[in-house]
Structure 1
Amino acid sequence: MAVTAKMVKDLREQTGAGMMDCKKALSETNGDMEAAVEYLRKNGQAKAEKKANRIAAEGLVDVVAEGNTAAIVEVNSETDFVANNDKFKAFVKDVANTALKTSATDIDGFMADKWIADPSKTVKEAQDEEIAVIGEKLSIRRFRKLTADNGVIVSYIHGGGRIGVILSAECPNPTDDVKEALHNVAMQIAALNPKYIRDSDVDQDFIDHETEIIKAQIENDEKESKKPEKVKNGIVKGRLNKELKEVCLMDQVYVKAEDGKQSVAKYLDQVAKAAGTDLKIKEFVRFETGEGLEKRNENFAEEVAKQMQ
């Protein structure tokens, strides 16, 4: 029986499988729709569903840039073995390139968008097909885009994709020295994981939360709890200021500072002055693979043993 475009379309709508998978399923089952659905469940979709409750906390972060726009993505796998696979790396690169072009603002919208390597598929369909090929759960976890309208975008990948950073800066004259300085700052972000650019960006909820913790620490300390209230307030202020210097990028000590004291803000001011330009960091995004996810507590030998049972 000849397979028509309408049959492929109907099967795609019914199963959510990719176009080529649907065409193959219909060919293999001589156009029998029910048999084609069963074929897809056995050979593609069922694999993705079966693995949906597994933990995928390994994987890669990747970055792509074009002009003054950059995109960063995190794609998770179950094992670092797959994360180091060239096919998986190519898939993650396609995810990043798709993210660079998408107009979606959240992960659900992104998963429903067109796959850049084959616009006949959605991102979700491409992910499910990759799961069927690779044989373990994969998850496109998150993405972000940054654009520098009046400046420059820089990026940095650490540890072969374990950590990624994109950074946008406002700069009317981004010289090579300025770009190098921003690259150094991106490396700093990867290493020290600041939460904010400057102290004026810190939200009140963070300050209130940290203040509460510091006060609790004081009350639980036998010596500090007996100090006068004025002294306790001074301790709270001092510790809070110290913490803000750690979480605010511009207040952090620049890791390459020769004197071990120069802040990131003073380093960038120095570079900008030498280049004869203004320079202001506008935004940054830092992704770390598996950040906040539970990881499997299994080793490779145990995994192999399970599969042999």
Structure 2
Amino acid sequence: MAWLILCAGIGLSVTLGRLFNEWFSLGQAGLAAIQALLVSALVVPAVLLLRRRIDHKSLNGLGLARRSTRPAAIGVAVALATACLVWLPALGAGWLAIENVDLPQLMMFFLVNALLLTFYEALPEEMALRGYAWTTIRESWTPFLSTLVVTALFPLSSAVISIMQTGSALLLGVETSGLALVPPGNDAIAYFLQLIFFGLALAAARRIPVPGALAICIAFHVVQLSINRILLGGFEWFDSGVSAVFVEPDAIALVLVHIMISGIAFLAIRKKMERRSANQA
């Protein structure tokens, strides 16, 4: 149910964003901002309502906690440490070249991009998938089955979002992106592989036994994708401040390596915490 809420929320936010852009000429930056705010406004309260009013269960079970600084720090640390392990050797080997860095522009991009990522993707997606869906299935079955189902749903979201956006656009007389299995400009195989690996890594983060574990997922989601966008130059309307050239085109596959190593790191952290807890018991 939460997955459908997520897909409907994203699809509707795209349609409403385009409608508002027609009315107020928001520009690309304004359009991105209003769509991000709409997604979180539509999805997050609905997921919380579903958990509290329909299921009559605690929000803590979703991986939420009042104090989320520590789990968020774990997500940031893993994303940055594994990025260094992957991309610094690529630089040293000459597979990737950094031609220029505009530090003020980079800092501004990172801030704006982090906010857009948080509200458009990380917060609503993690609340719906690794929060509600993963927790609900785990409570009835097993963590393994929960991870399997949620990871399968993750890459299928794009197709359902496309249906939701097309339907709402036709109803409101707004431009439609058209039905598509994956977002425009993406290779289907590469897209599915990336989201499957990403979903597995996020599920590994969700299983770390700390209060507020969902914050690990959200923080990792934001930082990992931010690194990718910085290396790829940012948006058409907002430069990342980093001029990076993939001298070896196949080095782009290191994006998957970064995700896989991160998943292994999360698994190792969970095992270490579980052993420590067992020894203290």
**TM-score normalised by the chain length of structure 1:** 0.25
Of Structure 1 and Structure 2, the greater strand share is in 1
Structure of higher CA gyration radius: 1
Of Structure 1 and Structure 2, the greater helix share is in 2
**TM-score normalised by the chain length of structure 2:** 0.26
